[in-house]
Amino acid sequence: MSNSRTPEILVTGGAGFIGANFVRRRLASDPGARVCVLDALTYAGNRESVADLESDGRLHFVHGDIRDGELVLGLLRERSIRTIVHFAAESHVDRSILGPDAFVDTNVVGTHELLKAARTVWLDEAPGTHRFHHVSTDEVYGSLEPDDPAFSETTPYAPNSPYAASKAASDHLVRAYQHTFGLETTTSNCSNNYGPFQFPEKLIPLVLMNMLAGKSLPIYGDGSNVRDWLFVEDHCRGIEAILERGAPGRVYNIGGLNEQRNIDLVRLLCEVVDGRLSGDAELAERFPDCPASRGDRCDSLITFVKDRPGHDRRYAIDATRIENELGFRPVETFETGLAKTVDWYLANGEWCARIADGSYREWIDRQYAERTETFPNQPKRVAR
Ligand code: NAD
Ligand code: TDX
């Protein structure tokens, strides 16, 4: 079933956190839009996150790997695709420390397979309008000291984790395909996202699901590392602005204008959950192990654990370029975004239960068992 009004786009990693939000938003905002999702459904991919969209024929789901060059070539040719929005990646820093190989395979080799296929079809076989948008991260710029200026698009690359290094390598390949072959590419380097459908290995959904289950909230080191947080729908709006108005070859930083210390963020999240559960008998009954259901505070679950090796101190984004050139600014505040996120996780118990199955819990428990050793002189509490 095809609708000829809007050309179909290829979204890699569309069953992951940000990809699923992007696909949902695109199909909801344009009745003529069609999307082909290519996703390998790794531990982080969930077809359920987009399954409800498949019924009207506007979403075509392909269970496959971006490293499969023949598959990608076939999709570009047969579905006449002229736009790729590339989210697919191994995305978790802690996993990249435990096992870097998958990060090089997917993030570097996988991105290169996509670029090769795009070059073959869009430049050699059927030249014309096209766009390869590469979704990347602020982690490629390394770590900031407290008084350093925020990352801009001209900040030199200094990736610190295997994850960041693999994303940096993929950014360089995208740049090289634009510069050398004339492939029309754009890249966005974004700060930490949060919101619906995020896999609960990342800080916000992990501590949220743990507090609802009455489990400890692990804070790495002393909790004073700083991240810039962006509500996922704002990230998707930023990517849309780049697709619509961004110049080929241009790189855009996307940020939330919202720097938070981890400990402050977790305390704020605890307050939101305390507020939701304390006055709601039905929620308290659904989450009997959450301290807030007994009138206690969720921050009683905070536990400081061994730090992440090479843990970056601070990320911050200078988003002047995307604001001045494309008129993009995030619309959510941290308070409104967190409230929407908490409400989504409270309302989507089935999604959470499917994710938090045996293998997930096993991984999390093993991961945190290794972190029980605490830092010497580690504070039990960090001042508010
Ligand atoms: P995610 O881990 O939630 O999802 C990744 C998706 O990619 C999953 O659906 C997975 O199945 C799929 N995938 C993995 N390997 C694949 C392969 N070889 N072939 C096809 N599909 C594959 O990731 P996310 O948090 O949604 O991040 C999406 C993109 O945004 C990534 O490129 C990431 O580097 C970038 N990014 C993420 C954040 C963040 O805060 N989460 C911030 C900035 C940039
Ligand atoms: O249990 C935890 N305790 C904790 O203190 C976890 C999982 C994290 N942390 C800390 C580490 C970081 O300082 O919280 C901060 C955020 O951690 P993550 O959610 O793992 O994100 P981060 O490492 O900052 O990387 C994220 O942002 C950039 C995404 O995972 C990347 O995909 C994205 O590119």
Kindly give, in sequence order, each residue whose CB lies less than 8 Å from that of residue 177, ignoring residues fewer than 6 positions away.
115, 118, 119, 132, 183, 185
Instruction: Give me ligand 2 centre to Cα 245, in Å.
Output: 31
pTM of the model: 0.96
**Domains located in the chain, CATH noted:** 8-194+230-258+313-333 (3.40.50.720)
H-helix segments, 130-225: 162-176, 203-213
The answer to whether the CB of 91 is under 6 A from ligand 1 is yes
Q: Is 227 in the pocket of ligand 2 (CB under 6 A)?
A: yes
For residue 64, give Cα distances in angstroms to 19, 75, 119, 325.
Answer: 15, 11, 20, 36
| Ligand 2 contact, 139 CB (< 6 A) | yes
Q: Residue 1 has what pLDDT?
A: 41
What pLDDT score was predicted for residue 202? 97
What is the C-alpha separation between 252 and 325, in angstroms, rounded? 10
* Cβ-contact 108, 171 below 8 angstroms: no
Q: How far is the CA of 163 from the centre of ligand 1 (A)?
A: 11
Within 8 A by CB and 6+ apart from 229, the residues are 191, 192, 193, 194, 204, 256, 258, 260, 265, 334, 337
78: annotated active-site residue: no
Whether ligand 2 lies within 6 angstroms of the CB of 225 is answered as yes
Q: And the tokens for 322?
A: 């995307």
**DSSP assignment of 292-325:** GGGT--GGGGEEEEPPPTT---B--B--HHHHHH
Per-residue pLDDT of the chain (384 residues; tens, 9 = 90+): 444 568 999 999 999 999 999 999 999 999 999 999 999 999 999 999 999 999 999 999 999 999 999 999 999 999 999 999 999 999 999 999 999 999 999 999 999 999 999 999 999 999 999 999 999 999 999 999 999 999 999 999 999 999 999 999 999 999 999 999 999 999 999 999 999 999 999 999 999 999 999 999 999 999 999 999 999 999 999 999 999 999 999 999 999 999 999 999 999 999 999 999 998 999 999 999 999 999 999 999 999 999 999 999 999 999 999 999 999 999 999 999 999 999 999 999 889 888 877 678 787 877 777 776 444 444 443 333
Q: How far is CA 359 from CA 36, 264, 269, 365, in A?
A: 29, 30, 26, 10
**Catalytic status, residue 163:** yes
Q: How many A from CA of 176 to the centre of ligand 2?
A: 29
Active-site residue, from 65, 141, 163, 252: 163
Question: Which residue type occupies 372?
Answer: T
Residue 195 near ligand 1, beta carbon < 6 Å? no
Say how many Å lie between the CA of residue 47 and the centre of ligand 1.
14
Tokens 């987009």: give the residue. Answer: 50
Compute, in angstroms, the gap from residue 238 CA to the centroid of ligand 1. Answer: 17
- Is 106 a pocket residue for ligand 1 (Cβ < 6 Å)? yes
Q: Does any ligand 1 atom lie closer than 6 A to the CB of residue 66?
A: yes
Q: Is 177 a catalytic residue?
A: no
CA distances to 66, 82, 194 from 214, rounded to whole Å, are 39, 48, 21
SS3 state at 118: helix
The catalytic position among 39, 113, 139, 259 is 139
Mutate to test the pocket of ligand 2, among 203, 268, 306, 366 (most ligand atoms within 8 A of CB): 203
Angstrom distance (rounded) from CA 113 to CA 100 = 19
Give the CA dihedral 292, 295, 299, 305, nearest 10 degrees.
Answer: -80
Nearest CA residue ID for atom 13, ligand 1: 88
Would you state the pLDDT for residue 368?
A: 78
